[in-house]
Amino acid sequence: MKVVLANPRGFCAGVVRAIDIVGLALERFGPPIYVRHDIVHNEHVVADFASRGVVFMEHLAHVPKGVRVIFSAHGVGPAVWREAADRALSVIDATCPLVTKVHQEVAAYAKAGRTVFLIGHRNHPEVIGTLGHYLGDPSRIHVIETEQDAERVEVEGPDHVGYATQTTLAADAVAPIIAALRRRFPRLCAPHAADICYATQNRQRAVRTLTTTCDVILVVGARKSSNSVRLCEVAEAAGVPAYLVGCATDLNQDWFGGAGTIGLTSGASVPDVLVTQVLHRLRLWWPDLTTTSIGQAETLQFRLPRELERAAKVAPLVHDNARADGCQQC
């Protein structure tokens, strides 16, 4: 059996930044540190932080007044910021800068009086947060999940519309939705640069390469991680069976009957230790397993919030992509 490892895989710059923010806040301020929502969508990362004194909350109402709180990489709307101010919370913002870009686009559309089509998953925290940045009539921003939604949506002022997208979607899936909107609204305004983030596109491109030589694709990632789920969809669209696994214990040897080459990648919020554990499990089944890799790792880094930059210079974090200890059963 042969395994081909995809590059890039695992943590993107936005996830590294968010995880570093929580780690540095722990070191500088000590526990407890409160985080609204999971800092990133990976249960192993969250569990590791929880064991070190980080408290994850879905609603600020459950956070004690006057304490420090971190907003997750997925971003929030202005109403959440106002609630934090009302509760005298000291906020550290771990929103991915590429999500912030989409917030700014939506706010600009609202200021210009444009109706907005927000392409994404209605219940995803990134989309929920982005909706709040349309500071106008909320009936003039529409979540578009499918091509059918694009064909059905009706708006006033069809010549004054624009679109934005969730950052973690698959470009191939978004393209027909945008095409349908353009067909119906010829004067549709587009973002100056694509909203789907570079890391999402790079990981999807690597999976497409895997599908040209691999019989089965394994994607390490959480089921609530949009970008991880999209990687499976990209493989399946190319006609290659793909399986999403949270960690090595989720593997099923029956998946590989007749396979000679396995492609292995991971979502943008997955520590590489989980990939290592998957490889270990595969080697138990095939002791003569060989591994190769394709592509190149990413090198982009995002700047930390100012209040933590000094702490990072004094005691820089070493995250082995990263701190999460992975599945204790592996």
- Give the pLDDT confidence of 236-252 residue by residue, as tens digits: 999 999 999 999 999 99
Residue 326 — very low, low, confident or very high, per pLDDT cuts 50/70/90?
very low
- Report pLDDT for 324: 43
> Average pLDDT in the 127-149 region?
96
* 2-10+197-294 and 98-184 share one fold: yes
Q: Which CATH number fits domain 98-184: 2.60.40.1730, 3.30.1490.480, 3.40.1010.20, 3.30.70.580?
A: 3.40.1010.20
Count CB neighbours of 89 within 10 A: 19
Q: State pLDDT tens for residues 266-319.
A: 999 999 999 999 999 999 999 999 999 999 999 999 999 987 877 666 555 545
> Which residues belong to the active site?
126
Residues 36 and 63: beta-carbon distance below 8 Å: yes
Is the separation of the CB atoms in 226 and 169 below 8 Å?
Answer: yes
Reported as a single tens digit per residue, the pLDDT across 192-234 is: 999 999 999 999 999 999 999 999 999 999 998 999 999 999 9
User: What pLDDT was estimated at residue 308?
Assistant: 87
What does the alpha-carbon distance between residue 153 and residue 144 come to, in Å, rounded to a whole number?
A: 8
- Select the CATH number that applies to the domain covering 2-10+197-294 from these four: 3.40.50.300, 3.65.10.10, 3.30.210.10, 3.40.1010.20: 3.40.1010.20
Average pLDDT of 28-41? 94
Task: Give me the pLDDT at residue 306, please.
Answer: 84
Q: How far is the CA of 156 from the CAs of 30, 150, 163, in angstroms? A: 52, 15, 15
Q: What is the pLDDT of residue 320?
A: 46
What is the 3-state secondary structure of 286-301? CCCCEEEEECCCCCCC
